[in-house]
Amino acid sequence: MKGALLLAALVAAGAGYVTASPSAITSVPTCPGGNTPQPVSQGAPVNHFVRPGATAMRVCGYDGPNYQRLIRNRVTIRHITHAFNTLKEPQPGIYDCPMDDGKEVLVLFAYRNALAERVVVKLSGCTWAMNGRSSRWTTLRLRNRLLNFVKGP
């Protein structure tokens, strides 16, 4: 009886090992409730707005009903990372953003063996992406793509 249990445990452990993928062991932070927190720098290289190589991405919508979606498709993550990294920096100065209604999207990039990175994308007013180190002007195309992830079926 003990031998059968040991064999079953070994088979189960082996099956888990065979089916595990690098993204399966990546810890992806959950979406915070309420208003999104201010993004915190995680030491990404200064030549990247978002550090390449994320293995998972969680998109949290805060534009009415709060929705979220976990994405593990590496091609999709690579395209979103590239889109963020090609955004333009705003000119230095003071900006008036009177139409800011507080709606935003939080994107959490998870990395294997590294801390997650956060990017807050404002959906109204000055439509910036902010990562805690710098800000970028977003494009309508990127904002719509992020919103499509969290709008639900």
pLDDT at 40 over 80: no
Of the listed ranges 19-28, 116-125, 128-137, the one predicted with least confidence: 19-28
pTM as predicted: 0.76
The two structure tokens encoding residue 20: 């595990």
Question: What gap in Å lies between CA 76 and CA 47, rounded to an integer?
Answer: 21
First to last CA, the chain: 49
Spell out a b/e string for 34-51, using b for 16 or more CB atoms within 10 Å of the CB, else e.
eebeebeebebeeeebbb
CB 97 within 8 A of CB 126: yes
CB 62 within 8 A of CB 105: yes
Q: Does 72 map to a domain?
A: yes
Q: Does 10 map to a domain?
A: no
Q: Does 116 map to a domain?
A: yes
143 C-beta neighbours (distance < 10 Å), count: 18
Residue 76: per-residue pLDDT: 96
Q: Does 98 map to a domain?
A: yes
Q: Does 123 map to a domain?
A: yes
Give residue-wise pLDDT tens across range 53-86.
999 999 998 876 678 899 999 999 999 999 999 9
Computed over every residue of the chain, the mean pLDDT equals 78
Name the domain count of the chain: 1
Residue-range definition of the domain harbouring residue 72: 27-150
Q: Does 85 map to a domain?
A: yes
% of residues, the chain, pLDDT over 90: 46
